């Protein structure tokens, strides 16, 4: 079930909002677990057991570590072993479903013979998101940052809370459990949540889907038949699509959380305003960047062990970041691409960028980002390299930009470029308005109703409504 689907908007969401308001808090928590179960099982009946098994194993493992910590003289030494087993379990599950066919195919190509027949496993929706949340939970328990949760229902709500279940943000249990114990919905928070949800929905349906439909049409053709100009055009369109799609879903998640009494962290901070790669990753998918920083980069040594070790740590982190996004060489290349740029900035490039006029560094980052997203979007490393070759050489092709650049797409592209950061940078009040829990004026309320109605009209009038996180 998708946030932008009619079944969610007209049936599931109204029922959940109404029942959440009338049920007492304790009963409401159980109801939210049931809602999350229905939401996930709606399109993932086959693999709901994976999520539930992950929940049960991590709950028991964390409880065991908690009891060992409480009785240091008896069993304290088993905590590292339990943590290792939990990490192996979580990463093993993720690796089996997401990377098994990738590794067997890669080994087969390297050895020149088929190692094992592909299993063509369906990827459980959201497995990367809830697996990383479980890993953060058990590590935080091991570190003593949070106590092991004694109530299975509370941990179940943490995992099954549907606004964040299949597309993030990646939430830490330490910030989530306070809402479980004491969550309140006021008219102000509900109105703010509704506003965020509508803005996010419009980003997805009006802008992202418009860009995505063109990108998908172009990339259905052979790469060598796409002209260099068309390649740059769809590179820009996909750069806009993935931002408005992902940030739109994050806005919807934050808004839904507010309407239900939960505070979810912000996941985007206008990343296309960044002036360097490091700043970009502090603004893009903030919860994932923070996760890799706290649970991989810092344990590896961070920036505490000299320049060369810092550069190595950065390369490892970005390699893992690329691999997290998908089982393919194009994702690994995309991660290494950003790793190399981050290392270059660490060594010499960042200081030079800081002395350039702001517009130059912004244009540099936009260029870097378009190249990165073009590789990310490619179905394979071969196709990605071929398309980039067409773009840099500006080669002609069977399919040219004039065949896909309609007036409608051009207008929406201009709107997207303005709204992905430049407008908010020039009007800070607009930027603050998105996060301030202030009241909604009568005029804004009318505008939101019209925006919601137009979003629904767009969705009803189109059969194109992809969910780009299926691969995650």
Long-range contacts, stretch 331-336, CB < 8 angstroms, 24+ apart: 331/376, 333/375, 333/381, 333/384, 334/372, 334/375, 334/376
Residue 159: both structure tokens together: 């995992």
430, 445, 437: which is closest to 258 by C-alpha?
437
Verify whether residue 285 is a known catalytic residue.
no
Q: How far apart are the first and last CA of the chain?
A: 16
Evaluated on CA atoms 369, 370, 371, 373, the torsion sign reads: positive
Among residues 285, 325, 355, 433, the one annotated as catalytic is 325
**How far apart, in whole angstroms, are the C-alpha atoms of residue 314 and residue 339?**
6
**How far apart, in whole angstroms, are the C-alpha atoms of residue 472 and residue 462?**
25
**How far apart, in whole angstroms, are the C-alpha atoms of residue 382 and residue 105?**
15
User: How many Cβ atoms from other residues are within 10 Å of residue 361's Cβ?
Assistant: 18
Q: Where are the alpha helices (DSSP H) in 8-126?
A: 13-22, 25-41, 48-70, 79-111
Q: Give me the half-sphere count of Cα atoms (radius 13 Å) on the Cβ side of residue 255.
A: 20
Residue 297: both structure tokens together: 């980069």
137 CB contacts (<8 Å, ≥6 apart)? 58, 62, 146, 155, 158, 172, 173
Q: Is the preceding omega at residue 169 within 30 degrees of 0, hence cis?
A: yes
Active-site residue list: 325
């Amino acid at each position: 079930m998708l946030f932008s689907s009619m079944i969610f908007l007209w049936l599931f969401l109204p029922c959940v909002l109404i029942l959440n308001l009338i049920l007492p808090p304790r009963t409401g928590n159980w109801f939210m677990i049931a809602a999350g179960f229905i939401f996930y099982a709606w399109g993932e009946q086959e693999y709901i057991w994976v999520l539930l098994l992950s929940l049960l194993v991590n709950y028991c493992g964390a409880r065991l570590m908690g009891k060992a910590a409480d009785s240091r003289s008896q069993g304290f030494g088993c905590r590292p072993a339990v943590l290792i087993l939990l990490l192996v379990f979580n990463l093993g599950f993720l690796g089996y479903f997401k990377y098994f066919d990738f590794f067997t195919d890669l080994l087969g190509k390297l050895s020149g013979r088929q190692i094992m027949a592909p299993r063509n496993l369906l990827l459980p929706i959201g497995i990367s998101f809830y697996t990383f949340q479980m890993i953060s939970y058990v590590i935080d328990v091991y570190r003593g940052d949070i106590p092991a949760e004694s109530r299975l229902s509370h941990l179940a709500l943490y995992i099954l809370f549907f606004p964040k279940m299949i597309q993030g943000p990646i939430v830490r249990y330490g910030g989530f459990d306070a809402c479980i114990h004491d969550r309140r919905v006021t008219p102000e928070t509900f109105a703010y949540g509704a506003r965020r949800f509508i803005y996010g929905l419009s980003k997805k349906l009006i802008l992202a889907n418009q860009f995505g439909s063109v990108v998908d049409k172009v990339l259905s053709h052979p790469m060598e038949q796409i002209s260099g100009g068309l390649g740059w055009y769809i590179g820009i369109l996909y750069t806009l699509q993935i931002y408005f799609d992902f940030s739109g879903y994050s806005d919807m998640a934050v808004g839904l959380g507010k309407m239900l009494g939960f505070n979810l962290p912000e996941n985007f901070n206008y990343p296309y305003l960044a002036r360097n790669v490091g700043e970009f990753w502090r603004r893009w998918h903030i919860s994932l960047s923070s996760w890799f920083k706290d649970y991989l980069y810092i344990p590896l040594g961070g920036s505490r062990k000299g320049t060369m070790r810092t550069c190595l740590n950065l390369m490892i982190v970005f390699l893992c970041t690329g691999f997290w996004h998908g089982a393919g060489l194009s994702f690994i290349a995309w991660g290494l691409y950003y790793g190399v740029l981050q290392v270059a900035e660490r060594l010499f490039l960042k200081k030079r960028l800081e002395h350039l006029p702001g517009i130059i560094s912004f244009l540099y980052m936009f260029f870097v980002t378009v190249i990165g997203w073009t590789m990310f979007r490619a179905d394979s490393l071969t196709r990605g390299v071929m398309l980039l070759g067409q773009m840099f050489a500006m080669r002609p092709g069977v399919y040219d930009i004039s065949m896909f650049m309609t007036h409608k797409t051009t207008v929406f592209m201009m709107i997207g470029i303005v709204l992905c950061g430049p407008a908010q940078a020039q009007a800070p009040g607009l930027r603050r308005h998105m996060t301030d829990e202030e009241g909604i004026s009568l005029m804004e309320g009318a505008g939101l109703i019209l925006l919601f109605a137009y979003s629904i009209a767009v969705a009803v009038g189109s059969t194109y409504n992809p969910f780009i996180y299926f691969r995650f």
